[in-house]
Amino acid sequence: MVDAAEGTQAPEGVSKPKARKFKLLPWQAWAHEAWARVRGVVITGGIYTGKTAWAAAEVYDLLTRTMRGATVWWVAPENANIDAMWELFEPWAIRAGAKPRTHPHYYARFPLHGGGRLLGVTADNLNMILSKHPRVIVIDEAGRLTPKAWALLHARFVGVKKLIVMGSATLAPDFQKVQKTAKTLPKRWAFRHVTTLEADIVEADELARLKKELPSSVWDSDILGKPGAGGGNVFKNTRRLATLPWHTPPRKITPGTYEVTWDPAKSSDWSFLGVWRGNRLVWADRWQYEAYTEQTKRVARVCREWGGATCIMDATGPGGVAYDYLSAEGMREQDEDGKEVPRFEVVPVIWTAESKPAMVLALERVVEDGNLALVDPEHGYPYDVVVEEMDAFTRVRSASGLRYSYGAPSGQFDDGVSMVMLRFSGSLAPGIALLGHEEAEE
């Protein structure tokens, strides 16, 4: 290495920093040598390739050995990116006698080594450190920095002695420009692309899980580090599939023609109900502030109106209560006035950590293949909500890990997406727990 502590003289009164070694991965060893030789190193590639860890180790090495007293900027788009660096760096820094502060931006000083310091900031907070002139700049997740942040950084590049620019996405045009420079000026720059597979940090079974969970476009961008699609919005252009009119129950219905899907919610949240004929949504309803007892009566009414339609519902967690109520409704043969009513089935769907991603992937394919038809949002509420929520639904990778989560952007809802997803839960996603009545009641 970059042995995170090697070469650091133990100052008086400070215990000798414990060597915190990690053996450099082959690409990191390459980058380490390059970094000693050139002014700037650019690394692109997949997630979990050891980029952040490598750069943190280099910065440590530099502040304790080769460039004591330097001011280093560590810039990244989000706090979580700074946290990922800080988690590695702080213990090293403390052992080396630095006095880290974590507010208002991350901050480590090396008073014992000529006052060097590491200033970690998100791109939004760059202005907070503008007066602290850097000798070294590290940019992490460079593909997601805003043009404004790039403009501020570019202005500093000139006076800087050393630069590291890393990123897994190549969306930002400024990041692409830096890559181009690095590739064309090999005397001053070093460039390396490293895939998650090549880096070899992630275990094989974890990779197998991701391969199964992720659509190929996300695999290509996140694991192979190919520029282009991936991440972000899950369902591409749902609007094109929303051209249907809606209709009310026909007078005569052959039983089994329609199916109902219901995403129940406790009273303060939104409940979404859809009526389907095959893959076509024909009618929908959405409400809020209703007790489960009221909600289940409402859903039961809809199931009966549509010819005793089977209701596929989310029975995960508190949904289990709603499932019990609705099942009881479905078994009744008479309404309150003693009039005969159609019975209906209720099918509970249980979402799990494994089944939800599988389900999202399945629905993603359905949308891609155009095997879904929704009501035209021109028909207004709640059909416009379905399309809006589908279009906004996103995939987000956990800040520092290999988990992906799915949902509406914060502050928005995804009850309409769940309602649609339920329609496809049985047929398309193997591994979805689709229990029958008896099993569910166990």
The answer to whether the CB of 76 falls within 8 A of the CB of 140 is: yes
Residue type, 213: E
Partners of 270 in the β-ladder: none
The answer to whether the CB of 75 falls within 8 A of the CB of 224 is: no
For the segment 382-411, give every residue that binds ligand ATP (CB under 6 A): 400
Q: Where are the alpha helices (DSSP H) in 236-354?
A: 292-305, 319-331
| Residue 304 site contact among Mg ion, ligand ATP, none (CB < 5 to 8 Å, cut-off depends on kind) | none
Residue among 84 and 419 whose Cβ is closer to Mg ion: 84
Give the separation between CA 211 and CA 38, rounded to whole angstroms.
Answer: 36
Partners of 303 in the β-ladder: none
Residue among 51 and 304 whose Cβ is closer to ligand ATP: 51
Residue among 50 and 407 whose Cβ is closer to Mg ion: 50
237 is written with which tokens?
């252009």
For the segment 35-94, give every residue that binds ligand ATP (CB under 6 A): 47-53, 84
389 is written with which tokens?
């929520």
407: left (phi over 0), alpha (psi -120 to 50) or beta: left
Q: Where are the alpha helices (DSSP H) in 96-230?
A: 147-157, 173-184, 196-199, 204-213, 216-218
Residue among 54 and 107 whose Cβ is closer to Mg ion: 54
Residue among 168 and 310 whose Cβ is closer to ligand ATP: 168
Site string for ligand ATP, 186-205 (x = CB under 6 A): ---------------x----
83: left (phi over 0), alpha (psi -120 to 50) or beta: alpha
Q: Give the interface segment with ligand ATP, choosing from 20-28, 109-117, 247-255, 272-280 (CB under 6 A).
A: 20-28
Residue among 28 and 52 whose Cβ is closer to Mg ion: 52
Per the omega criterion (within 30 degrees of 0), is the bond before 104 cis?
Answer: yes
| Residue 47 site contact among Mg ion, ligand ATP, none (CB < 5 to 8 Å, cut-off depends on kind) | ligand ATP
For the segment 41-60, give every residue that binds Mg ion (CB under 5 A): 51-52
| Residue 50 site contact among Mg ion, ligand ATP, none (CB < 5 to 8 Å, cut-off depends on kind) | ligand ATP
For the segment 300-339, give every residue that binds ligand ATP (CB under 6 A): none
Q: Which chain residues interact with Mg ion by CB under 5 A?
A: 51-52
Q: Which chain residues interact with ligand ATP by CB under 6 A?
A: 22-25, 28, 47-53, 84, 168, 201, 400
